[in-house]
């Protein structure tokens, strides 16, 4: 039961270019979406979130876009830096907050110098 | 910067033994969670805890699992009789509120290996 899907297991981009990570969901009850970054041997680190009442949220180099009709969200990183290389998880909640987050499988981003 | 801390970082245990995984959530947070990630799979929700009781649990969180907040700072996950399939990374998380736009902060995880 894949309620949150990240269809690209990996993505490779050049330093300075844009990284676009995609996430699709099936549960129309989801109303809060988060992106987490994870380095090996560490826990997920919160990056950015968006509630279903918005279609865009921006924080520095990171922007999340939400298309509710398509049940799709994306994370844009501009410009990409080598330190951004990590696994990025999309997560969703139907509770408006952080309870019972449903995670995608993750996308491994590699930013090449 | 405040953080969620978990101990131990790695626990090896024999099948059938009890294990207790420990977590110290961020001090002003009120909601606590356990998640796990089996190698190669998704991060999965196990349980949420608020006001000294479980507020939600998944189907994974069966009678072998229990959680406790034994004092004002620790939050523990106990597995009564471990099975091989309990081998996973276990992540503790906490959040200040449970309302809209409140993110959960995760600890670095405990790798549990059941042999």
User: Does residue B1 register a pLDDT over 80?
Assistant: no
Using CA atoms, how far apart are residues B8 and A39, in angstroms rounded to an integer?
19
Size of interface A-B (CB pairs under 8 A): 75
CB contact (8 A) between residue A99 and residue B103: no
Alpha-carbon distance B45 to nearest alpha carbon in chain A (angstroms): 6
A51 and chain B: CB distance < 8 Å anywhere? yes
What is the number of other CB atoms lying within 10 angstroms of the CB of residue A51?
15
From A90, A74, A79, select the one nearest A36 (Cα to Cα): A90
> In this predicted structure, what is the pLDDT of residue A107?
97
**Which residues does B82 contact at the CB level (< 8 Å), separation at least 6?**
B13, B14, B15, B16, B17, B18, B19, B112, B114
CB contact (8 A) between residue A44 and residue B91: yes
B31 and chain A: CB distance < 8 Å anywhere? yes
CB contact (8 A) between residue B103 and residue A49: yes
pLDDT tens, residue by residue, B35-92: 999 998 899 999 999 989 999 999 999 999 999 998 878 999 999 999 999 999 999 9
Instruction: Select from A32, A42, A46 the Cβ nearest to the Cβ of B100.
Output: A32
> In this predicted structure, what is the pLDDT of residue B96?
86
pLDDT band at B101 (very low <50, low <70, confident <90, very high): low
Per-residue pLDDT of chain A (113 residues; tens, 9 = 90+): 679 999 999 999 999 999 999 999 999 999 999 999 999 888 999 999 999 999 999 999 999 999 999 999 999 999 999 999 999 999 999 876 677 899 999 999 999 99
> In this predicted structure, what is the pLDDT of residue B90?
97
Instruction: Select from A43, A51, A103 the Cβ nearest to the Cβ of B101.
Output: A51
Instruction: Assign A69 to helix, strand or coil.
Output: coil
Alpha-carbon distance B72 to nearest alpha carbon in chain A (angstroms): 21
First to last CA, chain A: 38
């Amino acid at each position: 039961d894949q309620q949150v899907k990240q269809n690209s297991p990996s993505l490779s981009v050049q330093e300075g270019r844009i990284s676009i990570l995609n996430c699709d969901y099936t549960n129309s009850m989801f109303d809060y979406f988060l992106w987490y970054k994870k380095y090996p041997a560490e826990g997920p680190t919160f990056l950015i979130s968006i509630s279903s009442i918005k279609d865009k949220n921006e924080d520095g180099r990171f922007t999340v876009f939400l298309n509710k009709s398509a049940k799709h969200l994306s994370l844009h990183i501009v410009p990409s830096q080598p330190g951004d290389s990590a696994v990025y998880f999309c997560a969703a909640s139907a509770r408006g907050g952080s309870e019972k987050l449903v995670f995608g499988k993750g996308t491994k981003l590699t930013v090449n110098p | 910067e405040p953080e969620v801390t978990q101990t131990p970082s790695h626990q090896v245990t024999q099948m059938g033994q009890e294990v207790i995984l420990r977590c110290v959530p961020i001090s002003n947070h009120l909601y606590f969670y356990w998640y796990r990630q089996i190698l190669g799979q998704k991060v999965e929700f196990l349980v949420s805890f608020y006001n000294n009781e479980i507020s939600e649990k998944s189907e994974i969180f069966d009678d072998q699992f229990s959680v406790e907040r034994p004092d004002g700072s620790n939050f523990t996950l106990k597995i009564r009789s471990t099975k091989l399939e309990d081998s996973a990374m276990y992540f503790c998380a906490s959040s200040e509120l449970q309302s809209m736009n409140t993110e959960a902060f995760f600890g670095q995880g405990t790798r549990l290996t059941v042999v």
